[in-house]
Structures are given as structure tokens and as C-alpha cells.
């Protein structure tokens, strides 16, 4: 059964052949890759909202190189502890991109847990669903999530936007919100090439209303890269890619090897 609800009337779905149909007879076809597109056309600010194909492919290539594997492993260890006493748990990866972390978690946490993931970028969800088949993927906005109230035991948000009221609505009482955001030294060696004065990312973030912070973790490590394509992929998946003009890119790529700091804030909040 689909965990998702109708984006037009919020009732549950029943599946008939390759279509999900809600109580009010709204139809949504399941794409051949297995995902649902639940983003109403009038909710789009542009024709193709979210990360475009180039950013998504750069992110997939970089993540495949293993550059952020330590983060995936740290999250897996953390979630195992948070959910240790749960018989069942429904996890949601909000703004999941091409599904790298969702898939790592689905592969390392107990099989009895269920995983849903959404992103506003259709191309990202198409790639995600094509590659990983034990996760419920849908195209939807984090600002209007097609899931029932209090249906989530743990919501993960890695470098993605969200709305406080949706976090409050979706997560069960005593459930968890886990966020990953850039910490002060994140990608410092790239940012110092662009900015005269590099702004520090915050050392920590505040709990959203209705939540209490229960853990504040930091993951800081140097990434050693010797393949220029990996540096290009890392740049092209970041929001500051467009600030690298030809000259800056050439200067950076003239180096033979690179040491780039990765620095993440990982915060755990419990729903009051
Ligand atoms: C920096 S990427 C992070 C992707 C993934 N969490 C990861 O770390 O690999 C941010 C993602 O948020 C998505 N996004 C942006 N606005 C969104 C929204 N309103 N609702 C859902 N996803 C959104 C983008 O399409 C993109 O995939
Ligand atoms: Zn409906």
C-alpha cells in the first residue's frame, strides 16, 4: 500500500493496475520507474523546479566517488541508536535528491522499517527510483507533503528546505527530526577561491517550534582528491557553481591533488 495521500484531497490511495486512486477518484499513474508524481501543476513556480539534471548528475557522480560516505555511515549509526527500541518505523527523507542517503539507510537499518522519500525535482526522483526499489519515492514539495498527519517516526533533512508547520504536522509525538547542514569549515578550500571574505557557516542551529534539541554532532574530515573530475562534480553540485568562472576553475584544476575540508552539523530534535 502506498504511504502517500492524495495531494488534492488528502485521502489515502488504493492501487488499481498502475494507478493510485483516492477516495474522491483522483488518479495518479505510477511511473515505469515506480515513483508517483504528486506535485500539482499549479504548485510549480517553474516548469522544472528543484535541482536540474546537470546538478543532479554531478551530485550522483560525486557521491558515487565515496566523498560523503562517512556522513552516510555516521547517519546510519545515529539512526540505529535513535530507533533501537522500535518494532516498526516509517522514515521520510525530505528533499532526498537522487536518493544516495535514503538508499544507504534503507540498506543498513532493519528491514522491517519503511522508507519514503520526496523531492521537488522530477529528474532527481526519476534517477532515484530507477536505481533503488525498496523506497517509496514521489515528486512533491517539502512545503506541502502528501503524507498523513503524525505518520513519520523519523524525518531526515539533508541540505534541503522545509516548513516548520509541515515538520510539526508530519512527525509523531516523541518522533525525531534529524538535520544535516554545513558547519563552519565546510568546503572552505573551494569557497576561499571565490569569496574575498569567506562567510562562516553557523556552528549550530535552533530547534524549530514544537521540538527540543536532543543531540548536537559535528562531522569534520579532510577529503583527499586526486581526480580533477571529482573536483568538478563537487563544484557543479553546489549552489556556488555559477561563481566559478573559467579562470578560477582553471586555477583550481591546475593543482594536481586537492585537500578539501568537509564539515557537517548533524542535529537531532525530538517532537514535544
Ligand atoms: C542540496 S540538494 C540535497 C539533496 C540530498 N538531500 C543530498 O544531500 O544528496 C537539495 C535538494 O532539495 C530539493 N528541493 C529544493 N526545493 C525543494 C522543495 N520545495 N521541496 C522538496 N525538495 C526541494 C532539490 O531539488 C535538491 O534535490
Ligand atoms: Zn483526491
Summarised one tens digit per residue, pLDDT across range 172-195 is 999 999 999 999 999 999 999 888
**127 Cα to the center of ligand 1, angstroms:** 14
> Ligand 1 site: residues with CB under 6 angstroms?
50-51, 59, 95-97, 100, 119-121, 124, 141-143, 158-161
**56 Cα to the center of ligand 1, angstroms:** 10
E strand residue ranges, the chain? 13-16, 19-22, 27-29, 36-37, 90-94, 114-119, 136-139, 152-158, 171-182, 211-225, 258-271
pTM: 0.96
Give yes or no: residues 26 and 67 share one domain.
no
The total number of structural domains in the chain stands at: 2
CATH number at 101 reads 3.40.50.150
pLDDT at 124 over 80: yes
Give yes or no: residues 6 and 112 share one domain.
no
The number of the ligand nearest the C-alpha atom of 156 reads: 1
Q: Which residue, by CA, sits nearest to atom 9 of ligand 1? A: 97
Give yes or no: residues 24 and 117 share one domain.
no
Give yes or no: residues 155 and 243 share one domain.
yes
What gap in Å lies between CA 230 and CA 228, rounded to an integer? 5
**93 Cα to the center of ligand 1, angstroms:** 10
Give yes or no: residues 137 and 10 share one domain.
no
Q: Which pLDDT band, with edges at 50, 70 and 90, does 44 fall under?
A: confident
Sort residue 89 into left (φ over 0), alpha (ψ -120 to 50) or beta. Answer: beta
What gap in Å lies between CA 211 and CA 268, rounded to an integer? 10
Q: Which residue, by CA, sits nearest to atom 16 of ligand 1? A: 50
Asked if residue 41 lies in contact with residue 120, where contact means CB atoms within 8 angstroms, the answer is no
**45 Cα to the center of ligand 1, angstroms:** 15
**28 Cα to the center of ligand 1, angstroms:** 23
Give yes or no: residues 14 and 146 share one domain.
no
Q: Which pLDDT band, with edges at 50, 70 and 90, does 160 fall under?
A: very high
Give yes or no: residues 176 and 70 share one domain.
yes
- Average confidence score pLDDT of the chain: 95
Give yes or no: residues 54 and 117 share one domain.
yes
- From 55, 95, 162, 167, give the residue whose CB has the most ligand 1 atoms within 8 Å, as the site to mutate: 95
Cβ atoms within 10 Å, residue 2: 17
Give yes or no: residues 237 and 126 share one domain.
yes
Pick from 93, 150, 144: nearest CA to 116: 93
Give yes or no: residues 68 and 141 share one domain.
yes
What gap in Å lies between CA 101 and CA 162, rounded to an integer? 18
Give yes or no: residues 168 and 260 share one domain.
yes
Question: Range of 5's domain?
Answer: 1-30
Q: Cell 533503488 identifies what position?
A: 132
Q: Which pLDDT band, with edges at 50, 70 and 90, does 217 fall under?
A: very high
- Torsion, Cα of 152, 153, 157, 163 (10° steps): 50
Residue range 20-32: average pLDDT?
Answer: 97
Give yes or no: residues 85 and 182 share one domain.
yes
Amino acid at each position: 500500500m502506498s504511504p502517500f495521500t492524495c495531494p488534492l484531497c488528502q485521502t489515502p490511495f488504493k492501487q488499481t493496475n498502475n494507478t493510485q486512486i483516492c477516495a474522491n477518484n483522483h488518479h495518479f499513474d505510477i511511473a515505469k520507474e515506480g515513483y508517483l508524481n504528486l506535485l500539482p501543476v499549479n504548485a510549480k513556480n517553474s516548469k522544472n523546479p528543484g535541482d536540474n539534471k546537470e546538478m543532479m548528475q554531478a551530485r550522483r557522480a560525486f557521491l558515487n566517488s565515496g566523498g560523503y560516505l562517512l556522513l552516510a555511515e555516521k547517519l546510519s549509526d545515529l539512526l540505529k541508536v535513535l530507533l533501537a527500541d522500535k518494532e516498526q518505523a516509517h522514515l521520510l527523507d525530505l528533499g532526498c535528491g537522487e536518493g544516495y542517503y535514503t538508499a544507504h539507510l534503507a540498506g543498513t537499518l532493519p528491514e522491517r522499517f519503511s522508507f519514503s522519500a520526496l523531492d521537488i525535482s522530477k529528474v532527481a526522483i526519476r534517477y532515484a527510483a530507477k536505481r533503488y526499489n525498496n523506497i517509496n519515492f514521489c515528486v512533491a514539495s517539502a512545503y506541502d507533503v502528501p503524507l498523513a498527519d503524525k505518520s513519520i517516526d523519523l524525518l531526515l533533512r539533508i541540505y534541503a528546505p522545509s516548513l516548520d508547520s509541515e515538520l510539526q504536522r508530519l512527525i509523531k509525538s516523541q518522533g525525531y527530526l534529524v538535520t544535516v547542514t554545513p558547519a563552519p569549515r565546510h568546503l572552505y578550500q573551494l569557497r576561499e577561491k571565490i569569496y574575498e571574505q569567506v562567510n562562516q557557516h553557523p556552528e549550530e542551529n535552533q530547534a524549530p517550534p514544537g521540538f527540543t534539541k536532543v543531540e548536537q554532532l559535528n562531522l569534520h574530515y579532510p577529503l583527499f582528491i586526486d581526480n580533477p573530475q571529482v573536483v568538478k562534480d563537487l563544484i557543479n553540485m553546489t549552489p556556488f557553481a555559477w561563481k566559478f568562472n573559467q579562470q578560477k576553475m582553471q586555477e583550481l584544476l591546475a593543482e594536481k591533488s586537492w585537500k578539501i575540508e568537509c564539515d557537517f552539523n548533524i542535529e537531532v530534535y525530538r517532537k514535544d
